[in-house]
Amino acid sequence: MAAAAVLSPPRKNPPMTSAGAFDLTVPEYRPAEIKTYHKATYPRLAPEKSGFKGEGKTVLVTAGATGIGYSIAESFAKAGIAHLVIIQRRQEVLDEAKAALSKGYPKLKITTYAASVTDYPRVSEILKEVGQIDVLVPNAAAAHPMAPTKDLSTAHMDNVFATNVTSPHYMISEFLKLPHTGPKTVIYVSSAAAQLSMATNSIYGASKAAANALITQFARDAAESDVVVQTYHPGAIATPLSKAAGIPDGLLEFEDVRLPGDFAVWLASPEAVFLSGRFVWAQWDVDDILKLKARVEKDDYFLTQSIVV
């Protein structure tokens, strides 16, 4: 039996760096064609050079006012989009994000909604109110305290799966039903936790694995259309979510938050269309990723959560 997923068979934990942090940069955690691992953004990923054409486009990012979501929102702003829509629960952080983005990108139309992504009637209202959306980025996520699986409750399970699985399923489904002219792109922000056996992080990892499987099926259902459905690991990024989960200092060597933002724009470009339904990491060099195209086109299960028997 050979695993078709990105990573080697799960370890008890990832290997450690000399500084005592989990080391996700080792070659065994990526396909052989990926020679370079980036911890920060680089010129090849510059949004204005990505090949993504932002003119006239609308991009919606959930949890786009802070952390990784804000980085994604700003990178699309750099790519010259016309309209940015952000959904986040707290009005104060929405106001702060809108002020900062308006200052940096005065021509950009910015619309914000204070709402929960698990308030499904409200999500439907927002999508219909916005109208045509070109790129949907389900980025909102929930985590749980770092604890052994037996010590995590059904309440933790319900909260994490509602936000990380059910909510993106609902939002993507509603998005795909909306009238639209031209291509549609979905970019789901997943996690390496989907394919790593990391002690104390089991429910979160299971939720991301489930969401990756959903993304693959969304992509396959849309294979004969102009819909592209992407999913990726954004990296080890210090965010409010990682802090709330109680990740200990030194457990991870945090990476540049601009990297997942710029990578998301590249995923929305024509160059990355072949990755629809596959799972990749923002840290993998994009020119190395392009070398995977032949394998992707040959193997329906490569870079997915599936297992080949």
What average pLDDT score do residues 11-26 get?
70
Catalytic residue among 71, 190, 202, 276: 190
Write down the pLDDT at residue 113.
Answer: 98
| Residue positions counted in the chain | 309
For the question of residue 190 being annotated catalytic, the response is yes
Residue 68 lies in a domain: yes
Tens digit of pLDDT for each residue in 210-268?
A: 999 999 999 999 988 999 999 999 987 765 655 554 455 555 567 899 999 999 999 99
**Residue 19 pLDDT exceeds 80:** no
For the question of residue 42 being annotated catalytic, the response is no
Residue 242 lies in a domain: yes
Residue 78 lies in a domain: yes
Tens digit of pLDDT for each residue in 68-116?
A: 999 999 999 999 999 999 999 999 999 999 999 999 999 999 999 999 9
Q: pLDDT confidence of 148, banded at 50, 70, 90?
A: confident
Residue 33 lies in a domain: no
What average pLDDT score do residues 35-47 get?
96
Write down the pLDDT at residue 77.
Answer: 98
**Residue 5 pLDDT exceeds 50:** no
What average pLDDT score do residues 51-56 get?
96
Number of domains in the chain: 1
**Judging by DSSP bridges, how do beta strands 307-308 and 2-3 pair with one another?**
antiparallel
Greatest Cα-to-Cα distance within the chain, rounded to the nearest angstrom: 55
Q: Whole-prediction pTM value?
A: 0.91
Residue 232 lies in a domain: yes
Residue 11 lies in a domain: no
Residue 280 lies in a domain: yes
If you write DSSP's letter for every residue of 126-181 in order, what string do you get? Answer: HHHHH---SEEE--------S--GGG--HHHHHHHHIIIIIHHHHHHHHHHHS--S
Write down the pLDDT at residue 145.
Answer: 80
For the question of residue 150 being annotated catalytic, the response is no
Catalytic residue among 78, 98, 184, 208: 208
What average pLDDT score do residues 135-152 get?
89
Supply the DSSP symbol for 8: P
Q: For position 90, which CATH number holds?
A: 3.40.50.720
Q: pLDDT confidence of 195, banded at 50, 70, 90?
A: confident
Q: pLDDT confidence of 4, banded at 50, 70, 90?
A: very low
Could you list the residue range(s) of the whole structural domain that residue 215 is in?
56-298
Catalytic residue among 105, 188, 204, 232: 204
Task: Decide: residue 265, CB within 10 A, 0-12 exposed, 13-18 middle, 19+ buried.
Answer: buried
Tens digit of pLDDT for each residue in 165-175?
A: 999 999 999 99
Residue 249 lies in a domain: yes
Q: pLDDT confidence of 22, banded at 50, 70, 90?
A: confident
What average pLDDT score do residues 170-189 get?
94
